[in-house]
Amino acid sequence: MKTILKITLFSLFSAMMLLAAGVDGSWKSTFTAPDGVERTSTFVLQSDGEKLLGKIGGATGDAEIKNGAVKGADVSFQITIDYNGQPMLLRYEGKVDGDELKLKVTYNEEGSFEIVAKRQ
């Protein structure tokens, strides 16, 4: 009985650690933006409990993540970038799926597109 309990607890702990560390690390995405331009973004992400920290690097420079959250495989965060001299809010929502981070990006509450980032 004790052996079964130990195995069960170890399995649960291992699963929790994998989920918590699932988003941590560097990710890279190449995608076609709504303006038709192919872009590359690099995500450096770190979870701290249910809080998500990090930055995104791309053509417009680096941006710190704000309002980041992670719950299991679900992630969400936002950044503000300078786009043609104007601030643009980008909201990201999605899931970690193995070595892929599948995200829906909503910009300025006007439109959205999807990207897939690969673990580096």
Q: What is the 8-class DSSP label of residue 99? A: T
Average pLDDT along the chain, 120 residues, taken 10 residues at a time = 47 42 92 94 97 94 96 97 90 98 93 97
Is pTM, for the whole model, over 0.95? no
Q: Which distant-in-sequence residues (6+ apart) come within 8 Å of 45 by Cβ? A: 23, 24, 25, 26, 27, 52, 53, 54, 65, 75
Supply the pLDDT for residue 17. Answer: 41
What Cα–Cα distance (Å) separates residue 22 from each residue in 32, 61, 98? 26, 25, 8
- CA 66 centroid distance within chain: 12
Count the neighbouring beta carbons within 10 Å of the beta carbon of residue 105.
21
| Domain 2-119 falls under CATH 2.40.128 | yes
Write down the domain spans for the chain: 2-119
What Cα–Cα distance (Å) separates residue 33 from each residue in 81, 101, 107, 114? 14, 17, 11, 9
